Chains A and B, each alone.
Chain A
Amino acid sequence: MTREDLIADTFVGIVDSLVDDFDIIDMLTGLTQGCVDLGLATASGILLADQDAKLRVMAASSERAHLLELFQLQNDEGPCLEAFSTGEPVVHLDLPAAGDRWPRFAPEAVRTGFYTVHAFPLRLRISVIGAMNLFSAERRDIGEPASHLAQALADVASIAILQDQMIRQSDLRAGELQHALDSRVAIEQAKGMLAERANVDMDEAFAMLRAYARSVRRHLTEVAMHLVGGTMAVDEVAAVERLYRPEGSETSSR
């Protein structure tokens, strides 16, 4: 396969993940492997911020790279963290001489067998969501075209991740909307059941439902759904209510 084919393949691999069955870890692992296959690095690793903005190792092309990413997190220093916090690429071509900058990370990286590091932010406009490290075993500057390529791959991956988050977010909201509909209907149905069993009007039935839910410390919706689903007896709600209803609430709001 030519290098152009390989580049195209790597991009397609990321974009492919935009269609159904998207898995962030799959996609990012493919990206780290793609960087190695493209000769951009000996090994590669990716950190991603979670919901609490805490960085986590999400993917690595090898176990060595994985451990080195973890090492950065544990020691709270290293190029990946800097690329994440500044939103700019970080390059160091001579890790054995980087002891001043990263007193813990640099010796560990050298001990692991790496000489050079390039770190690229995963970003979309102003938001930075993580960073990608490219480690090389020998002293080498990957050069500007290769840097641009690595950043472009990181950018496409960022879009895929943010897109996935947006879809999850709206799916969550759609689920909440449907649940709200189901609750609303269940409450009206439960009122009807109680009104019939206790021979009261709908306001009175609603007061009963609320009083019962409060007495057993459960949500109104939950009690209504149990009543409607037949997993709670109408008589129980109608009876317990009379014990718990506070004085004066006999005349419910009308």
Chain B
Amino acid sequence: MSDSERVTRVASAFALHRRDRGTFCSASADVLGIASAGVTLMSALHNSPVCHSDERSLALAELQFSLGEGPSVDAFAKHEAIHEPDLEHAPLARWPTFTATALELGTRGVFALPLNVGQRCIGVLTLYHDVAGALTLDQQADGLVVADTVARSMLETQSRNDTDLLAGDLDDTASHRAEVHQASGMVAVQLGMEVADAEARLRAHAYAVNRSVVDVARDVVRRRLRLVADGPTSGNGW
């Protein structure tokens, strides 16, 4: 397939998905023939899920950014694609917790593609596949075009919005993430620590009690849960 055919194919798939109110993620998964996909917007300081084609990709993204380990984290840090075609045979030391959880959720192959704009990386497109196996050369070439299309679409979406606020379509904090940040601010004041550390505490707590960070954050915001300085937990201590 020629490059221009590839670009046309990807562009029309994205246009169709937009028409049907789909997302970058459903379009990407569809074009590439991959089970599940997620897009995360990132800066040096923060990350925010933009869209996810299913619950699994959202859970695995949150997990990666909670732990600071995983292919998406590496792809952003290195500005390059990270391919793990078979998590069952991947070196465990690489991403121990991510690998175990991904396998539990039925993911065998994972491919994280950086969303590069010039020298800058604005996020990651992560593909989660049900079966083991490397991407074909065709899928790899498509992947580059898809990542480029997602990056451009995100810039377009943001620039159509004439304020300096984050465009609604890119703003996941509008839904569940807002509470994570609010809770981090509260914990920072409660425990007299920096906000970034407070968020890490929150995520560590969620992980320790096997709940989602969003659920834990909601309890903090509603003052049903207060974290204490040393131990990981203190329930109903308000």
Contacts and interface: CB of A to CB of B under 8 A. Distances in A.
Contact of B45 (A180, A182, A190, A221): A182
Contacts of A178: 41-44, 120, 122
Interface string A218-236: 0001000000101000100
B75 interface: no
- Most chain A C-beta atoms within 10 Å of own C-beta, residue among B120, B158, B159, B185: B185
Interface string A174-200: 111111111111001111111111000
A179 B44 CA distance: 10
A197 B189 contact: yes
Interface of A: 167, 170-171, 173-185, 188-197, 202, 221, 228, 230, 234
Given A177-B122, A185-B181, A195-B221, 13 more contacts: A167-B118, A179-B164, A180-B158, A180-B166, A180-B170, A181-B41, A181-B42, A184-B166, A188-B177, A188-B178, A194-B185, A202-B182, A228-B195
B155 A174 contact: yes
A191 B120 contact: no
A192 B183 contact: yes
Contact of B165 (A175, A183, A191, A192): A183
A176 B173 contact: no
B4 interface: no
B117 A171 contact: yes
B184 interface: yes
Contacts of B158: 173, 176-177, 180
B69 interface: no
Nearest to B190: A196
Contacts, number: 113
A151 B99 CA distance: 58
B119 interface: yes
B221 A202 contact: yes
B189 A181 contact: no
B186 A196 contact: yes
Contact of B159 (A173, A190, A195): A173
Given A184-B171, A230-B194, A192 B221 contact: yes
A167 B155 CA distance: 13
Given A183-B165, A188-B182, A173 B45 contact: no
Given A173-B155, A180-B166, A181-B166, A192 B118 contact: no
A194 B178 CA distance: 15
A139 B46 CA distance: 65
Contacts of A202: 182, 221
B48 interface: yes
Interface in B92-148: 117-120, 122
A123 B184 CA distance: 53
Contacts of A228: 185, 195
A196 B189 contact: yes
A170 B183 contact: no
A179 B165 CA distance: 9
A193 B185 contact: yes
A189 B44 CA distance: 17
6 contacts: A181-B46, A181-B166, A184-B166, A184-B171, A185-B173, A192-B185
Interface string B157-174: 011000011110011010
B154 interface: yes
B204 interface: no
A208 to B, nearest CB: 13
A67 to B, nearest CB: 36
A174 B166 contact: no
B188 interface: yes
Contact of B182 (A176, A191, A197, A221): A191
